């Protein structure tokens, strides 16, 4: 069975600072990997995904993530935080052999200080 761990349920950064949200997965086969963002009282919006090819993927709103197979990680970064980035972020994985069922991490709430 797959599992997803997001280190740090809350992360606080200053506006303009680097954002780093961590995601590690456990899977016998490298899965498909996704990052979603959730604003208060809304659904989840896809930020980016890794399926194959280049391990550094770029998403919306200036976010990017790098798939590191040796570290079983898919950390999300953004060079400079904006106030509008304050939200909850979820990492999710999909088993390549199990259709499009997703396993989610517990989420990380990003707070941005002025």
Partner 1 sequence: DGGITQSPKYLFRKEGQNVTLSCEQNLNHDAMYWYRQDPGQGLRLIYYSQIVNDFQKGDIAEGYSVSREKKESFPLTVTSAQKNPTAFYLCASSQGPGNQPQHFGDGTRLSIL
Q: Does 34 bind partner 1 (CB under 8 A)?
A: yes
Residue 70 contacts residue 87 (beta carbons within 8 Å): no
Residue 67 tokens, joined: 């798939």
Report residue 96 as tokens.
């390549």
Contacting residue, 42, 55, 61, 84, with partner 1 by CB under 8 A: 42
Cβ atoms 36, 46 nearer than 8 A = yes
Q: Is there binding between residue 107 and partner 1 (CB under 8 A)?
A: yes
Q: Which residues here bind partner 1, judged by CB under 8 A? A: 9, 31-32, 34, 36, 41-46, 49, 51-52, 90, 94-96, 98-102, 104-107
């Amino acid at each position: 069975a797959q599992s997803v761990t997001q280190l740090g349920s809350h992360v606080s950064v200053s506006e303009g600072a680097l954002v780093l949200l961590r995601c590690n997965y456990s899977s016998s086969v490298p899965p498909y990997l996704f990052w979603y963002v959730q604003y208060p009282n809304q659904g989840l919006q896809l930020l980016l995904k890794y399926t194959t090819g280049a391990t550094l993927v770029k998403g919306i709103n200036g976010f990017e993530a790098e798939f590191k197979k040796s570290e079983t990680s898919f950390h999300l970064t953004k060079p400079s935080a904006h106030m509008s980035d304050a939200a909850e972020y979820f990492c999710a994985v999909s088993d390549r052999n199990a259709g499009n069922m997703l396993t989610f991490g517990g989420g990380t709430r990003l707070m941005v200080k002025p």
